[in-house]
Each structure stands twice: as structure tokens, then as C-alpha cells.
């Protein structure tokens, strides 16, 4: 069970073979690494499932390996084109999830170098096309952890700068709080050979382009996103988890976010958020125990607005009206302006 989706193990993976599992995409959501928030977003789980299925099927057409097997409807495994109604259950190949050790308050990854195959690579691979205000990239540039040339610029980029080619970034996947990594650090903890690591970068750029190009056709701007990878039982690079959804990516339409980012905007104005930020500075491993307050529920109208975002994005991406009566993206944009949902 995760903060936003549950995993049903149909057949457990072993050291030498993949298993079979089913993702049950829920209407739960999480922000700021907190875990489950107090509200459910109606329709979110089904929307994420069919969006992810759409992009898994698209990237497989380009010869990219994934763990996707299909969507479950009436207990039958189907491709997206065969679905009659939206479903929140996706069947996948399962690999082992091996966790790093903790020693003296730090994470240790030496065991990953000895794993022969069939494991989740302990990285999140992030792609960036836009550098919005508040992007971690600016902080790391200021601290000298990145240079402009690292991300394709000759001088310091401005807020809102766009990249012609996706910049590939890395962070930890299996730690209490994600931390950014240099390419050298990412390779070191990944358990990968150098050629496998380079293949992940190449595949990430290709998948990012597939997502970006599809969204451009429906006037959605894909600013950034993230991927996860595994090594299969034959030690083949495999795209895993979910892909191309508003939870993995930053989508905007005429400048407004099309994701749970609208909830982040809301919660950034609350004392709870500032308490989280202070706690993370004090203890990167045990910060949650230092937070004494809890997030307050969203209003019914705001919750409906977020629900409509997920439903409408799924309709636009797949080209099918899975959610009858959901507003158009233009109508969502207009409501955001009228209700001032995204004003500071």
C-alpha cells in the first residue's frame, strides 16, 4: 500500500523471476512527502490509470520495454482500446524492491552492486523542459551543485527558461525524503553498469518526447516529469510504476497547473506547510515526527475543481470521453480565473 495507490500481489517476484501484480489507483493524494491527505479526489484513480495505460502503450510502440500488461475490467485483462468504462486497476510485472541500509543516520547502497537482476532501481529520473519559479534547479545553481552548462545554457538561466532538449536529473527513490543527486552519485547508488545507466538517460529522453508531443497536440504544456525503472529478470531496462500522469508530471494549460499542484498552491499558504519546511531542515530522516499540526480538509467546491482537472485531462489525452459531463480544459481554465483558485 502506498500513499496514492495500492499493490495487489498476484504472484510474488523472486530473486530470479518477475512476479505479477495489480496497481489499484486510489482517489487518495499526497503532497510534500506527507502521505495520505484528509480528502479523496473523486475519479482521480481511474483517470490516472487510463492516462498511464495510454502512455505505456504508446512507448511500447517505440520499442521501449515496460512492466505494463493491461487494464482489468470485469476481471479480464484488456488494452485501453477495449475498455468500455474507466478502470482503476492495472496489471503489471513485479520486481523486487530492495531497500538501502541505514547506518549512522545515512543511507548505504553497497548491496545494490551485488544484485544480479530483477530489482527496482533506487532512483527517480526527472526530466525538465521548463525552469519555473521555485524550481530546485535555481537553488542548486546558486549553491554550485549545478552549472548552467549542465542544463544546456551558456549563462545563468532566467525564471521560466525553456530547454530545447529535456534535462535529465536524478533523486533518491527509497529514502524518507527525496534528495537530488549528481549523475556520478546516481550511478554509484543505482547498482547499474555505466552502459545501463546511460541507457536509462536515453530512454528517459525518448519517453519525455513522446509525452510532450502528445500533450502539445491538445494544447497542454509538459514542463517536467519523472520516471522509475527496474532491471528485469534478464537484466533488461524496464520502465515501471505509472507514467505520463498529472501526478508524475507538471502539466499546464494556458499557464494554470493541471494536477494536484493546485492543492500544493493552497497548502503553501497554511501554517502546516511552514511547519513541514522547518522540520525537514532540522532532521531529514525524522522530520514528520516533528510536525505537530495536520493539514485541514479542502472545501467541496475546490475538491470538485481538482476532480474535474483529472477527469478532463484523461479525456483530452486518450481522446475518449471516459468521464461523461467533465468540463473542457478551457472551462477549467475559466473557472480557475473566476474563482481565483491559484492566486497567492
Instruction: Find where cell 479542502 sits.
Output: 298
Pairing of strands 68-73, 76-78: antiparallel
pLDDT given at position 228: 98
Phi, psi of 207, rounded to the nearest 5 degrees:
-65, -40
pLDDT given at position 1: 54
CB atoms within 10 A of CB 227: 24
pLDDT given at position 168: 96
Residue with the bigger pLDDT between 199 and 283: it is 199
Asked whether the beta carbons of 12 and 94 are under 8 A apart, the reply is yes
Q: Which of 65-69, 138-142, 235-239 has the lowest mean pLDDT?
A: 138-142
For residue 202, is pLDDT > 70?
yes
For 325: left if phi > 0, alpha if psi spans -120 to 50, otherwise beta; the answer is: left
Task: Tell me if 323 is assigned to some domain.
Answer: yes
For residue 197, is pLDDT > 70?
yes
CATH of the domain at 188: 3.30.470.20
Instruction: Look up the pTM and report it.
Output: 0.92
- Over range 110-117, report the average pLDDT: 95
pLDDT given at position 105: 82
5, 128, 246, 293 from 49: Cα distances, Å: 10, 23, 11, 32
Residues in the chain: 344
Task: Tell me if 208 is assigned to some domain.
Answer: yes
Task: Tell me if 196 is assigned to some domain.
Answer: yes
Roughly what angle, to the nearest 10 degrees, separates helices 194-217 and 183-190?
110
Can you tell me the distance from the alpha carbon of 159 to that of 132, in angstroms, rounded to the nearest whole number? Answer: 6
Instruction: Domain of residue 320: give its range.
Output: 5-339
Task: Tell me if 65 is assigned to some domain.
Answer: yes
Instruction: Count the domains in the chain.
Output: 1
Task: Tell me if 344 is assigned to some domain.
Answer: no
**What's the whole-number average pLDDT of the chain?**
94
Instruction: Find where cell 510502440 sits.
Output: 61
What are the helix (H) ranges across 154-193? Answer: 183-190
Amino acid at each position: 500500500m502506498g500513499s496514492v495507490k495500492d499493490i495487489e500481489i498476484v504472484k510474488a517476484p523472486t530473486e530470479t523471476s518477475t512476479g505479477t501484480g495489480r496497481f489499484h489507483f486510489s482517489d487518495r493524494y499526497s503532497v510534500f512527502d506527507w502521505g495520505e491527505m484528509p480528502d479523496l479526489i473523486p475519479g482521480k484513480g481511474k483517470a490516472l490509470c487510463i492516462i498511464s495505460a495510454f502512455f505505456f502503450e504508446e512507448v511500447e510502440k517505440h520499442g521501449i520495454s515496460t512492466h505494463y500488461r493491461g487494464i482489468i475490467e470485469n476481471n479480464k485483462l484488456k488494452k485501453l482500446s477495449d475498455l468500455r468504462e474507466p478502470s482503476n486497476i492495472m496489471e503489471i510485472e513485479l520486481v523486487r524492491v530492495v531497500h538501502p541500509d541505514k547506518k549512522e543516520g545515512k543511507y548505504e547502497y553497497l548491496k545494490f552492486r551485488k544484485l544480479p537482476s530483477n530489482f527496482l532501481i533506487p532512483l527517480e529520473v526527472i526530466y525538465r523542459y521548463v525552469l519555473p519559479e521555485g524550481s530546485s534547479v535555481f537553488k542548486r545553481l546558486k549553491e554550485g551543485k549545478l552549472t548552467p552548462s549542465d542544463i544546456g545554457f551558456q549563462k545563468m538561466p532566467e525564471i521560466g527558461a525553456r530547454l530545447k532538449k529535456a534535462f535529465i536529473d536524478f533523486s533518491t527513490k527509497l529514502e524518507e525524503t527525496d534528495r537530488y543527486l549528481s549523475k556520478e552519485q546516481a550511478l554509484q547508488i543505482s547498482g547499474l553498469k555505466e552502459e545501463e545507466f546511460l541507457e536509462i538517460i536515453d530512454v528517459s529522453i525518448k519517453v519525455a518526447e513522446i509525452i510532450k508531443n502528445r500533450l502539445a497536440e491538445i494544447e497542454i504544456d509538459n514542463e517536467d516529469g519523472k520516471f522509475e525503472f527496474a532491471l528485469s529478470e534478464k537484466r533488461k531496462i524496464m520502465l515501471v510504476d505509472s507514467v505520463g500522469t498529472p501526478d508524475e508530471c507538471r502539466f499546464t494549460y494556458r499557464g494554470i497547473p493541471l494536477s494536484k499542484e493546485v492543492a500544493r498552491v493552497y497548502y503553501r499558504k497554511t501554517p502546516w506547510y511552514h511547519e513541514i519546511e522547518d522540520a525537514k531542515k532540522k532532521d531529514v530522516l525524522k522530520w514528520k515526527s516533528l510536525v505537530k499540526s495536520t493539514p485541514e480538509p479542502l472545501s467541496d467546491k475546490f475538491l470538485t475543481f481538482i476532480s474535474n482537472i483529472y477527469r478532463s485531462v484523461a479525456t483530452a489525452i486518450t481522446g475518449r470521453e471516459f468521464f461523461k459531463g467533465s468540463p473542457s480544459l478551457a472551462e477549467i481554465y475559466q473557472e480557475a480565473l473566476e474563482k481565483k483558485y491559484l492566486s497567492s
